[in-house]
């Protein structure tokens, strides 16, 4: 069937005319083909009455009243709706009688400062519809639309196809964040072994990376349980055609979580190594200062002896001055050579 699009289509998606006050995007797939985009939200139930149709609805920062329209259209559980409205939910997958609720996060990292920010995304998963709830305007739907359009051969799998695009986008973001933090740690190792000590910079950057890793760990680790649950047959979301794609996402989740754990250990190792190097540098400085102090003590002893105001061998004689100078040079030089051989200077 020929794909039709509404006139309000944009490069970032379609804003639907709907009774909701928040921006909404809609898409309709029929028998695996994109048929319509940008239609009003109240038409969703009409489309779902037709055979072979699958609907995607996206809401940006909806209020409880906006989600009331969704409840009417899809019959969603009130607890799931409450989680979709509330902020800072733990990444999870809740099962209800006739739908699932997904809470997850998109990770965004600043490559220059290693500062990580996360943006929450919720999704209602029904047998024939995917409803996504973006809780931040920083999230753009265009990357998600691009993923769906680039793999439209799998659109026949319906909701499983749409959900895979969402999960793949989120997990790839986690993986990219871990990779960026790994590169930051490589640069940090160069700072650690720099001949010119930069302890303050090292500690500041280590703290920033460790803080980002802790935040990333909170959003990455629970995704293992989420994807693993979706792969279970009794859940009934993933068909045989999409199973390999979900397994690939699960593999990326495992790699990202394991990588995150190893980087946390590496940050601790870098900090411990820095403390060890600082101790070694301090010992080296103290050793050199002690050696020079010993040499100066000899000069003080010799000049002090020959500075007495009582008669002594060579008192008032030129050869007495020569003898004191010779003793000063010989003993100090001997100490200098001995300390140098031992690596103390």
- Alpha-carbon distance 147 to 165, whole Å? 6
Confidence at 82, pLDDT banded by 50, 70, 90? confident
pLDDT, average across residues 185-192: 79
pLDDT, average across residues 171-193: 86
pLDDT of residue 85: 83
- Alpha-carbon distance 326 to 211, whole Å? 62
Confidence at 7, pLDDT banded by 50, 70, 90? very low
Q: Which residue, chain included where needed, has tokens 């319509």?
A: 36
pLDDT of residue 16: 42
Length of the chain: 345
pLDDT, average across residues 296-323: 70
pLDDT of residue 315: 66
47, pLDDT greater than 60 = yes
pLDDT of residue 307: 66
pLDDT of residue 19: 54
Q: What is the pLDDT of residues 121-145, one digit of tens each?
A: 999 999 999 999 998 877 788 999 9
Confidence at 64, pLDDT banded by 50, 70, 90? confident
Confidence at 112, pLDDT banded by 50, 70, 90? confident
Q: Strands, DSSP E only, in 61-127?
A: 92-95, 100-109, 116-126
pLDDT, average across residues 72-91: 82
Identify the weakest region by mean pLDDT among 31-35, 244-248, 305-309: 305-309
Specify the 3-state DSSP secondary structure of 12: coil
pLDDT of residue 15: 42
- Locate the domains of the chain by residue range: 9-277, 283-341
In this structure, is the dihedral angle defined by the CA atoms of residues 247, 249, 252 and 256, taken in order, positive or negative? negative
Residue with the bigger pLDDT between 220 and 4: it is 220
Exposure string of 297-328, with b = 16+ CB inside 10 Å and e = fewer, is ebeeebeeebeeeeeeeeeeeeeeeeebeebb
- Alpha-carbon distance 95 to 83, whole Å? 13
CATH number of the domain at 9-277, please?
A: 3.30.460.20
pLDDT of residue 10: 36
Structure tokens given for 227: 């994807």
DSSP-assigned states of every residue in 304-324:
HHTT-SS--TTTT-HHHHHHH
Residue with the bigger pLDDT between 18 and 72: it is 72
Instruction: Identify whether the C-beta of residue 133 lies closer than 8 Å to the C-beta of residue 123.
Output: yes
Q: What is the pLDDT of residues 237-288, one digit of tens each?
A: 899 999 999 999 999 999 999 999 888 888 888 877 777 777 777 777 787 8
Chain centre to alpha carbon of residue 89: 18
pLDDT of residue 202: 78
pLDDT, average across residues 198-219: 85
């Amino acid at each position: 069937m020929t794909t039709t699009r509404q006139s309000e289509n944009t490069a970032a998606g379609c804003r639907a005319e709907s009774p909701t006050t928040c921006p909404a995007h809609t898409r309709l797939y029929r028998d695996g083909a994109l048929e319509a985009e940008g239609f009003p939200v109240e038409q969703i139930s009409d489309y779902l009455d037709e055979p072979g149709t699958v609907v995607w609805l996206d809401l940006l920062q909806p209020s409880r009243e906006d989600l009331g329209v969704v409840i009417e259209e899809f019959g969603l559980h009130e607890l799931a709706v409450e989680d979709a409205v509330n902020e800072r939910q733990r990444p999870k997958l809740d099962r209800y009688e006739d739908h699932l609720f997904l809470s997850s996060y998109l990770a965004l990292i600043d490559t220059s400062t290693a500062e990580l920010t996360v943006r929450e995304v919720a999704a209602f998963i029904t047998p024939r519809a995917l409803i996504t709830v973006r809780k931040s305007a920083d999230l753009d739907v265009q990357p998600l639309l691009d993923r769906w359009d680039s793999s439209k051969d799998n659109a026949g799998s319906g909701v499983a196809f749409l959900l895979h695009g969402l999960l793949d986008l989120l997990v790839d973001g986690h993986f990219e964040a871990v990779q960026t933090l790994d590169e930051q740690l490589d640069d940090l190792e160069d700072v650690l072994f720099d001949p010119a000590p930069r302890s303050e910079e090292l500690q500041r950057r280590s703290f920033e990376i460790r803080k980002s890793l802790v935040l990333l760990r909170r959003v990455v680790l629970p995704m293992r349980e989420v994807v693993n649950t979706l792969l279970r047959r009794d859940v009934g979301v993933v068909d045989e055609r999409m199973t390999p794609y979900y397994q690939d996402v699960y593999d990326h989740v495992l790699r990202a979580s394991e990588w995150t754990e190893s980087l946390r250990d590496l940050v601790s190792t870098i900090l411990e190594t820095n403390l060890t190097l600082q101790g070694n540098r301090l010992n080296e400085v103290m050793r050199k200062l002690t050696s020079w102090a010993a040499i100066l003590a000899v000069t003080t002893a010799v000049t002090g002896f020959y500075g007495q105001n009582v008669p002594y061998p060579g008192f008032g004689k030129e050869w007495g001055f020569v003898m004191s100078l010779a003793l000063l040079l010989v003993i100090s030089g001997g100490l200098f050579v001995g300390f140098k051989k031992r690596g103390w200077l």
